[in-house]
Structure 1
Amino acid sequence: MQINTKKLDSFRSLIQSIDLEGPPSAAFVGSPVDSPARCLVLDAAFNPPTVAHWGLARSGALASGASHVILQLSCSNVDKGIMEANLAQRLYMVAALATLKEQTSVTVCSHARFIDKANALAALDRQIQPIFAIGYDTLVRLFDPKYYEDMAGELEILFEKAEFVVGNRGDTDQSEMDRYLEDRTEYGGRIHTVTLDASFSDVSSSNVRRRSGQGENVRALVPEPVADLIKAFGLYT
């Protein structure tokens, strides 16, 4: 696959325009959502996008009744290292992934907290009703008091603005997720769960980077256009 350098440069310029220190903001990459409504939002570092990312986005949209998928590249808290793809390269991979399914858009976002992401999307288009797709490990962190000054109050505001769909990770199954949510019934109807295919359980971006760095074939771990771009960019070697 040949890299379109003009497109890559435009992605680089867009990322540079995102203010990480200002109010939460997001921007569409290419065409925006046609009919903003219930949108499944998969926000990640995408380093690189994997089949597990794509599986969670598609299954999560079905489980939550979302009419549209937004793949959102997080521009904050970016890890740096020799084997890392830069943000423009990641955005290029995400944009290629989005072409695989109709009603899929791509955005970039400035901030890391979910409440900030929800506010950023609202500022972008008030009709967007975000449903954030997360793994079970992120759900546990979402209810960890150490991340809040006023946990109950902050969560109340968050769940007024957004819903969540949770996919199992690793050895976690549906029954374990259900047990965890039994003590959080006040958010019933705002948290959906989905059991991902067992083949996704050990798929992660870090696994892809590690195995690629060891010279292994990672095509089974990433969608086809992502695999082609990893090769074209010469990433993770």
Structure 2
Amino acid sequence: MLVCASHRNINIARYPIRSMSTVTNLVNAALSRLQAGTTTVEFIHKPYSSWPYSRHGPHSLKDSAIATGVSAFRITVLDSSFNPPTLSHRALALLPAADSAADARLLLLSVRNADKTPRPGDASPSQRVEMMVRLAGDVNAAVALVDAPTFIHKAERLRTALPAGAQLSFVQGIDTLERFLSPQYYGDGSLETMHAALRRFFAPEGDDARLVCARRAMGPADLRGESVIIEAAQEWLQADRISIVDIDSELQTFSSSEVRAKVRARDDSWRRMVPDVIADYIEEQNLFLDLT
């Protein structure tokens, strides 16, 4: 187990589902460290020992961009509540950050979301982590926890916990982009404060981050809203710091809230909306059935 000032590594993959109490204790301890400010990021699972470098380790980058002083590799970060992970999450996690000498994937759970609070019937933090680790095994990703409400703060914390040269590409739905470009989430709520924060977030000399935004299935009214969002993002789209992509049209319709509703209604069609390993876990743990 590695412990340092900014982050901590544990690996729950070694604990089987039957040891749920052990996993819960590990996750709760990680949450306590984050909330106490002892750590800024908790790495819960890594797919191989040299992550986020390639399996060959950092020496594999010696002839790459690392020698020129620019970003050596990119990390695709899927930040979500994973309540539960769906096939849409899987598709987003597999989106390429960009062509690079090496790349890595990270599933990130924020323990302090700017908009969402836990509701009766939601999966617990340890259950979400278990599902994230199962999904991570399918997409070759690491799993981490962070105590940060916004992408700006998440990028700052991840930068302190990752090797130099890592460039972060946050993957999100276009509905999340609307919140990302809303001044209310930045300091005093002014446009000036938001723009200053975004410039630090995107600047190569700042957090050097990018956004990859996937379209959602939308009706005519939603499409008009999407055009407004895209217009607000023009500065960053033109600077190649935000990109808009498409995933499979059916996957665009899948949502965690619909899965939870179908499970509660005993409608088995929810199974086709999640990876098999997640469906098995939901049934093993009897998730989303009891709202009391």
TM-score (norm 1): 0.87
User: What whole-Å deviation, never above 9, does each CA across 1:67-101 have from its counterpart, x for those lacking one?
Assistant: 11100111113522221111011001001110113
- Specify the alignment match of 2:261 in structure 1: 210
Q: How does 1:105-124 map to 2 (within 5 A)?
A: 105-124=142-161
Unmatched tracts of structure 2, length 5 or more? 1-15, 59-72
Aligned to 1:49, what secondary structure does the other structure show?
A: coil
Bigger Rg over Cα: 2
Aligned position for 2:11: none
Q: Which runs of 5+ in 1 are unaligned?
A: none
CA contact (8 A) 1:159 1:187 kept: no
Q: Which letter does structure 2 place at the counterpart of 1:58?
A: L
Aligned residue identity for 1:165: V
Supply the AA of the counterpart residue of 1:26. V
| Paired residues for 1:7-156 under 5 Å | 7-19=23-35, 22=37, 25-31=40-46, 33-35=51-53, 37-59=73-95, 62=96, 64-65=98-99, 67-77=103-113, 79-102=117-140, 104-127=141-164, 128-148=166-186, 149=188, 150-156=193-199
- C-alpha distance 2-214 of structure 1, shift in aligned 2 (>3 A): same
Separation in 2 of the partners of 1:185 and 1:70? 23
- Looking at structure 2, the residues matched to 26 and 48 of structure 1 have their Cα atoms a distance apart, in angstroms, of 22
- CA distance in 1 between partners of 2:38 and 2:211 (Å): 23
Distance in 1 separating the partners of 2:134 and 2:275: 10
SS of residue in 2 equivalent to 1:184: helix
Deviates more, 1:162-171 or 1:183-192: 183-192
> Is contact 1:169-1:201 (8 Å) kept?
yes
Q: CA offset at residue 11 of structure 1? A: 2.6
Q: Deviations over 1:114-134 (max 9, x none)?
A: 111011111112433211111
Following TM superposition, by how much is the alpha carbon of 1:15 offset from its aligned partner in structure 2, in angstroms?
2.6
- How far the C-alpha of 1:188 sits from its partner, in A, is 1.7
Question: Do residues 166 (structure 1) and 166 (structure 2) align?
Answer: no
Q: 1:27 to 1:2 in 2, by over 3 A?
A: closer
Paired positions, count: 232
Say which is worse superposed, 23-32 or 150-159, in terms of deviation.
Answer: 23-32
What SS does the aligned partner of 2:145 have? Answer: strand
| Percent identity for Structure 1 against Structure 2 | 28
What corresponds to 1:190 in structure 2? 241
Tell me whether 144-153 or 39-48 shows the greater mean CA deviation: 144-153
* Cα distance, 1:155–1:187 mapped onto 2, change above 3 Å: farther
Using the TM superposition, give the Cα deviation of residue 64 of structure 1 relative to its aligned residue in structure 2, in angstroms.
3.3
What displacement does 1:17 show? 2.4
Residue 163 and residue 185 in structure 1: after superposition, are their counterparts in 2 closer, same or farther (change >3 A)? Answer: closer
CA deviation after TM superposition for structure 1 residue 165, in Å: 0.4
